[in-house]
């Protein structure tokens, strides 16, 4: 069998594929609905790229005081003033590079992690999640599959998974990866899920991105 590879594009450095604003908004709104009530929210977008789309919409959506941290391996060039750049070129996955002066944790962590290290992003984010906090990840649907990750999800199933259709574009030119489907997955800290009597079963739904993009109030 001959496999044609000429249409397969090289991956961008650090898997830098910015999340469209309407998807980031949908994910952050969902996080704010799921997170436990608090007087002030600590929000983190790791792997924010040069646009920090989740942090930007969080700063616009929250109806409570919000402290926002963003970080990325690459220098962040965004000049927005909505958030605190805790450091360019910090390795989020390196526990020795801890930027938190008083070891505070986050109520909401939302990001679109590089796929190659998405599982490591998930593990690190769960460590940094506050009691009652919520983690929202935009990932390939295949992230929830594979023999390697299956045992992790059996022990730590997402509370919710929302499959996106039609297939979203992360390239900025409207192009899509015909071999991949995408979703948003949300986790609580395990002990919090038990306290608030969340079902151990994962809730699933399918989200029409055409409707999300066309509805400014979604």
pLDDT tens string 10-35: 555 555 668 999 999 999 999 999 99
Give me the domains of the chain, ranges plus CATH numbers.
Answer: 16-214 (3.40.50.150)
Q: How far is 127 from 87, CA to CA, in rounded Å? A: 19
**pTM for the whole thing?**
0.84
pLDDT tens sequence across 121-167: 999 999 999 988 999 999 999 999 989 899 999 999 999 999 999 99
The backbone torsions φ and ψ at residue 76, rounded to the nearest 5 degrees and listed phi first, read: -90, 125
pLDDT tens digits, one per residue of 179-198: 789 999 999 876 554 444 45
pLDDT of residue 8: 40
Q: Give per-residue pLDDT as tens, 61-119.
A: 877 788 888 888 766 555 454 566 665 567 889 888 777 767 789 999 999 999 899 99
């Amino acid at each position: 069998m001959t496999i044609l590879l000429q249409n397969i594009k090289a991956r961008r450095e650090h898997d830098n594929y910015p999340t469209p604003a309407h998807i980031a908004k949908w994910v952050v709104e969902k996080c704010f609905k799921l997170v436990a009530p608090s007087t002030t929210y600590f929000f983190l977008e790791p792997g924010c790229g040069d646009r920090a789309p989740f942090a930007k919409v969080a700063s616009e959506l929250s109806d409570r005081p919000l402290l926002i941290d963003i970080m990325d391996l690459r220098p962040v060039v965004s000049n927005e003033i909505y958030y605190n750049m805790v450091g360019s070129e910090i390795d989020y996955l390196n526990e020795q590079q801890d930027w938190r002066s008083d070891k505070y944790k986050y109520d909401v962590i939302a990001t679109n992690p590089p796929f190659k290290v998405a599982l490591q992003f998930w593990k690190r984010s769960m460590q940094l999640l506050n009691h009652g906090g919520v983690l929202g990840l935009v990932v390939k649907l295949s992230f929830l599959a594979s023999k390697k990750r299956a045992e992790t999800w059996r022990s730590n199933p997402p509370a919710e998974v929302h499959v996106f259709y039609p297939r979203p574009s992360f390239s900025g030119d409207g192009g899509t990866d015909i071999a991949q489907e995408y979703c948003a997955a949300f986790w609580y800290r395990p002990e919090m899920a038990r306290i608030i009597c969340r079902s151990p079963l994962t809730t699933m739904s399918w989200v029409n991105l055409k409707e999300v993009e066309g509805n400014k109030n979604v």
